[in-house]
Amino acid sequence: MKVKSFLNSLTVGDIVAYKMLPKDLPVDPDREWRGKILQAPCLDCFYVESLEEDTRGLTELIYLQQIVRKVY
């Protein structure tokens, strides 16, 4: 398994691309969502603000395993 080295450097304000968890039953499990990190309440999770047009401004809790990449 390839290690995502950027995960160690994520901070509040960073924008990330992430995927929904299978338990959330996404219609398109391969879709990448974009969000801005607002807070890191624990070592393996973040609160993000959605940057997607249809859900802009909504806050969601995501886990490290969901993050695909950092968006620059």
The 10s digit of each residue's pLDDT in 5-19 is: 787 889 999 999 999
**Which residues, 6+ apart, have CB-to-CB distance to 16 below 8 Å?**
10, 34, 35, 37, 46, 48, 62, 67, 68, 69, 70, 71
pLDDT per position as a tens digit, 1-60:
555 778 788 999 999 999 999 999 999 999 999 999 999 999 889 999 999 999 999 999
Domain residue spans of the chain = 5-71
pLDDT at residue number 3: 57
> What's the topology of domain 5-71?
SH3 type barrels. (2.30.30)
> Contact at 8 Å (CB) between 71 and 13?
no
> Contact at 8 Å (CB) between 6 and 70?
yes
d(CA 13, CA 67): 15
